[in-house]
Amino acid sequence: MSDNETFTFPDRLSVDPKSPYYNAEILSRDVGIRFKGAEKTNVEEYCISEGWIRVAAGTAKDRHGNPLTIKVHGPVEPYFKD
């Protein structure tokens, strides 16, 4: 049985260290995201129960210098790449 089958991912996870949903321990293990069956590499945050991911909207930045993101709805499947 692999780690993906025994480990329960948090319902919500963010790559932004300022977010309350940030978890360095989990992110250090190289988390992958399947969204609508396709692997996504530019996910900033996800929520499994609500079925959405946040992805960067091009190269646009907000007034604080952070990338602008858009929320896209659909089935989310996190997994460990190893």
Task: Give pLDDT tens digits for 8-57.
Answer: 899 999 999 999 999 999 999 999 999 999 999 999 999 999 999 999 98
Confidence band for 67, pLDDT divided at 50, 70 and 90:
confident
Q: Which residues form the domain of 26?
A: 3-80
Cβ neighbours for 2, distance < 8 A, ≥ 6 positions apart? none
Q: Which of 39, 13, 42 is nearest to 28 (CA)?
A: 13
Counted domains in the chain: 1
